[in-house]
Structure 1
Amino acid sequence: MIKGLILAVFVGFSGIYAQAKIEIPNDKDVMYHFGACKSEFLPSNFQLFIWNIKKAEAKAEWARDFEYFTPRSDIVLLQEAMMDNFVPAIALGQKGFCWDFATSFIDNDRNPTGVMTGSPIIPLSIHFLRSPGREPVLKTPKMVIVAEYALANSAETLWVANIHGLNFVSNKLNREQIEQVAAFLKKHNGPVIFAGDFNSWNNERLQYLDEILGRLAMKKLAFANDDRKLKLDHIYVRGLEATRTDLHKNINSSDHKPLTAEFRLK
């Protein structure tokens, strides 16, 4: 029922964009890096902030919320981010942060849209994963950024995967994207965070997320006040202790509620 409703809405909206000149960039043109960060290590206790920002359509209200959460965070994971005249300018206002952006597609106004990861800590490495499947009609992929960070007082490094999951597709294609990321994360023996908008809007998607990531000994964090009708955004973790989790239901500048979590090394 939910899947049918979502597909019906998508078909309705897709007509608006049917004539759009969507461009999928070559691999060499996917990534943007901007900002200036200097810290070399994540602290032993750190905070994560995750948010699908709906392309910052709410403008001033979105900027106010973003500017509240970001200075309190050590890692910021955004989905539906934009490389336009607005979002990067607001992000650059966060002094001491650097940002990595992976382009899903370039829209009719020549603005890249995709996922964006930011931190005051210089990443040791950055990788992107383009989904094997594509959304219908516009044939656009979804993206994942995997950033690696050094940890204070530890020989291990932390991998942080920031996902925007395939949405208006079969469960099979959505699962293939999750399997793709899991296969990449399997290469790392240290702590891992896998978070973002998984577009897990039915029980089957929720179940195989737990199954696939459970093979990597990753567990989903719970939120005490979680009464979301559609649970799309999640945080999975391995090798860290979550000392606090929050779902920020009072934030209305996007159709997704931000998630925050505080961690310390085990």
Structure 2
Amino acid sequence: MLKPKALFPQQFIDGHPIHQGEEFGVLCWNTQKLTERKGFQRTLEQVLAESPCLFLLLQEVKLSAKTNWFLPHWSYAVAPNMETRRSVYGVLTASRYGFKEAQARLSRKREGMFATHKSYMLSYHSLAEGGSLLVVNVHAINFVRARRFSQEIELIKQEILGHKGPLIVAGDFNVWSRRRRLSLLQFCRSVGLRQAIMVDPHHVKAYRQHPLDFIFYRGLALQETIAIDTSTVSDHNPLYARFKL
């Protein structure tokens, strides 16, 4: 496993800005590196047909040089955490809205078990009335002490503290202990984030009774949520939330 290069895969297509009063769906899913498998792709198409989205936030994505399955009419950017000769792995943010900017980030520390980094993506999407929506797609570091975890969360906090507009922070946060969960809650309070509580929360991936996947938001009106049972595909289920600007 190799540390990824400075360049990261991306495809930007002209998209319209988000208008005041507009509603949009957000789908967040740890894909367990299954993105190139036909079964996953069929399931994703079905999920998107039943829960229409304008933002797609995926963690543990696997993309190879020959990948051509991804939705051709979406803009997207990848923040890799690993790269081999054949594939890139990381988080992927896709949107039907235009990307104003996309910034890929790596954790400073490596995970103890695998000696790899984790990654997150910051993407900015224009608002018609001015300003931007900031979307942060996170796969938080695992297999490190709680103090190291808190330090990495603090780095994300420093990145977004200056953003004045609406905000979505979502992903797999690996908060499988009480100390990690408290660090995440403190982070949310410090930047004014609320949790999108899922309908059917038993479908949310958990470890030691601690949910791992979350969608948080600020400056938006939450309209609907659901955790979608797709357990025959990934070991995580996708989370869906619909917001109104």
| Structural mapping, 1:1-266, within 5 Å | 22-26=1-5, 28-29=6-7, 31-34=8-11, 37-43=13-19, 44-56=22-34, 59-70=37-48, 72-84=52-64, 88-91=67-70, 94-107=71-84, 110-152=86-128, 154-227=129-202, 228=204, 229-230=206-207, 231-265=211-245
1:193 deviation in Å? 0.4
Alpha-carbon contact 2:141-2:174 (below 8 Å) kept: yes
Aligned with 2:158: secondary structure?
helix
User: What is the CA RMSD across the aligned residues, in angstroms?
Assistant: 1.9
Q: How many residues align?
A: 236
**Structure 2: 5+ residue stretches without partners:** none
Partner of 1:7: none
Pair 1:57–1:118, CA change in 2 (3 A)? closer
Aligned with 2:92: secondary structure?
strand
| Larger Rg over CA atoms | 1
Q: TM-score, normalised by structure 1?
A: 0.83
Deviations 1:190-247 (A, max 9, x none): 1110001111112221222111121111111111311244311101111111100110
Alpha-carbon contact 1:158-1:192 (below 8 Å) kept: yes
1:156 deviation in Å? 2.8
Alpha-carbon contact 1:70-1:76 (below 8 Å) kept: no
Deviations 1:101-122 (A, max 9, x none): 1110113x53111111111222
Alpha-carbon contact 1:38-1:96 (below 8 Å) kept: no
Partners of 1:124 and 1:214 lie apart in 2 by 27
Structure with greater proportional helix content? 1
Alpha-carbon contact 2:118-2:140 (below 8 Å) kept: yes
Letter in 2 for 1:262: R
- List 4+ stretches of structure 1 deviating above 4 A: none
Aligned with 1:177: secondary structure?
helix
Partners of 1:250 and 1:130 lie apart in 2 by 29
Aligned with 1:263: secondary structure?
strand
**Structure 1: 5+ residue stretches without partners:** 1-21
